[in-house]
Structure 1
Amino acid sequence: MTRQVSVWGGGFWLSRKLREAALDAARELDELGYSRLWTSGGFGDGVPSVYGEVLAATPRLAVASGIVSIWHADPTETARVVNQLEQNHPDRFLLGVGTSHAPVVDAKEGHTYTKPYSHMVEYLDALDAAEIPVPAERRVLAALGPRMLALSAERAAGAHPYFVPADHTAFAREVLGAGPLLAPEVAVVLEPDEVTARGIAREYMRGYLALPNYSNNLRRLGYTDEDLADGGSDRLMDVLIPWGDLERVVAGIEEHYQAGADEVAIQVLTADQSTFPARQYRELAAALIA
């Protein structure tokens, strides 16, 4: 599979107030040669129109949902929206679905986080049974553990792991085998000052380390409770979030390709996440995209 370099983005892309700026950013990403934009958001009542708007605003850039929660997005409505995007923009939208996290799901009225693997199987069955099904090759799973990774190979185009070091990418490739797509998200901090870079990275890590799916995945890889405490140890940060000058950050991203990734979805972290870090994505494109 041809190596791809993509972008992962959150709130900047979903804000209606910033939509014109986001579409301008999408056009530049397309011109720079990035393959795909991964951005979060659900379907049904919470459909983020950014998916279709980015596709309409760019001639080549693909878009993926990273990640639609199977607890909160009705599969029938999901299939309908995916089909509409496919009709309007053939082969450019990829549906990413995931089981989310117990604290997030349990906090929402009407949902209880039980048997996530079984619920994912049922959700995929429902996508297959929809009036216009979502084909396996147009969907990926947010997978971390071996069972969900295996399901990604069996019932989807592949896997989109989030918040993982390169040793997880190697593990995921081993489970998936040679064929399926492996597209990990990799957060980076392009900042040579160590104090500043670690401060930005630790603020980002703190929230994710509080979510059991991520913390348990890191424990499975051999990281300890000490590594996970207080926003994460420097040891964990150094393998999880490439930081520093361009050469060092690019080397950290390259580790995921060397470990078996087909596509890396790069999330540039800055002190101000409300603005798009265009300079950093330009520098990364020049270094990573042939």
Structure 2
Amino acid sequence: MSDTAGPLKETVGRYGIWSIGLRSEDPDRRGERAEAAAELEELGYGAVWLGGNSTARNAVPLIEATKRIVVGTSIQSIWEHDAAESAASFTELEAAHPGRFVLGLGVSHAPRVEGYRRPYAAMVGYLDELDKTGVPTGRRVLAALGPRMLELSRDRAAGAIPYLVTPDHTAQAREIVGEGALLAPEFKVVLESDPTRAREVARAYLALYLELPNYTNNFFRLGFTEADVADGGSDRLIDAVFAWGDETRIRERIEAFHAAGADHVAIQVVDGGPRDALPREAWRRLASLLA
């Protein structure tokens, strides 16, 4: 229920970091990940969102290395981890570190899941099972894009963590979820002021997502066209879903989400390097410009 999101809104703060690299299970990188998480906490970020198909297990080293920062999955696929498994992991982590973990759930994408079917009904059933095992509504969030899933995030979770969206989507989402629910969109940032280079980096990163109908259908709902999603994405689309430019422009683009109704923005740095890198210098620059 939306009225359960209050404590979570307070603990995640206005800004967080979305990262695939922090999810890594490579034992050789465990120390590096822990050190990076501790620095993010020192820099003032309120949350870390573990990109890709992440689980509570991925959150443990980061939580153990920090004192207050919230760690959430963004997302855990309901197709790859059953509800009983999710509940057991949540309960164990909550017992050891109360209030530090948020279970972010999503339905993934049909091209990536064998037997994909009726995603909305599947999510409802999954939440029913979590209710039976006592996972608190206020400690789970949904990767919601369309109206029905946004309504579900309002009624059966603490709120929504929409991925690859615009401030216009945030404004529409706020109308649906109401004031009580947490609304924490992800937003991609390219710390590059040259338009050609910035769009080149962004377009290369976006290509993967343009193959997934959940995202392209959402773009169409927002007024983009087939031409916008063709050939790697139009400049109009690139400029809508990525921030680039000087520090003032990037700050304004991030703050536009708050003006549209976001409680929290999960910032993902895109720099043309490996998707699982830890761009710590970029995270420092962002903390400085958002201070």
TM-score range, shorter chain: over 0.9
The equivalent of 1:104 in structure 2 is: 112
Call closer, same or farther: CA 1:41–1:85 in 2, change over 3 Å: farther
Aligned residues: 279
- For 2:217 and 2:25, the matched residues in 1 are separated by 31
Secondary structure in structure 1 of the residue aligned to 2:282: helix
State how 1:181-260 maps to structure 2 within 5 Å: 181-260=182-261
Amino acid at match of 2:290: L
- For 1:247 and 1:85, the matched residues in 2 are separated by 39
How far apart are 1:186 and its partner, in Å?
0.4
How far apart are 1:243 and its partner, in Å?
0.9
How far apart are 1:12 and its partner, in Å?
5.0
The equivalent of 1:168 in structure 2 is: 169
How far apart are 1:11 and its partner, in Å?
3.5
Secondary structure in structure 2 of the residue aligned to 1:242: strand
State whether structure 2 residue 31 is matched by structure 1 residue 28.
no
State how 1:63-78 maps to structure 2 within 5 Å: 63-78=71-86
Amino acid at match of 1:275: A
The equivalent of 1:118 in structure 2 is: 121
Are the aligned partners of 1:202 and 1:237 in contact in 2 as well (CA < 8 Å)?
yes
The equivalent of 2:149 in structure 1 is: 148
State whether structure 2 residue 128 is matched by structure 1 residue 128.
no
The equivalent of 1:14 in structure 2 is: 24
- For 2:44 and 2:113, the matched residues in 1 are separated by 36
- For 1:230 and 1:22, the matched residues in 2 are separated by 35
How far apart are 1:63 and its partner, in Å?
0.1
* TM-score, length of structure 1 as denominator length: 0.93
- For 2:272 and 2:243, the matched residues in 1 are separated by 16
Are the aligned partners of 2:189 and 2:244 in contact in 1 as well (CA < 8 Å)?
yes
- Aligned pair partner of 2:282 in 257, 280, 285: 280
Are the aligned partners of 1:128 and 1:134 in contact in 2 as well (CA < 8 Å)?
yes
- For 2:270 and 2:108, the matched residues in 1 are separated by 22
- Aligned pair partner of 1:85 in 72, 93, 98: 93
Q: CA RMSD in A?
A: 1.4
Note the residue ranges of structure 2 that are not aligned, 5 or more in a row: 1-8
How far apart are 1:238 and its partner, in Å?
0.8
* TM-score, length of structure 2 as denominator length: 0.92
The equivalent of 1:109 in structure 2 is: none
State whether structure 2 residue 58 is matched by structure 1 residue 39.
no
Are the aligned partners of 1:246 and 1:283 in contact in 2 as well (CA < 8 Å)?
no
Are the aligned partners of 1:143 and 1:159 in contact in 2 as well (CA < 8 Å)?
yes
How far apart are 1:13 and its partner, in Å?
3.3
- For 2:249 and 2:184, the matched residues in 1 are separated by 21
Note the residue ranges of structure 1 that are not aligned, 5 or more in a row: 107-111
- For 1:90 and 1:117, the matched residues in 2 are separated by 30
- Aligned pair partner of 1:58 in 61, 66, 73: 66
Single out whichever of 239-248 and 136-145 deviates more from structure 2.
Answer: 239-248
Amino acid at match of 2:124: V
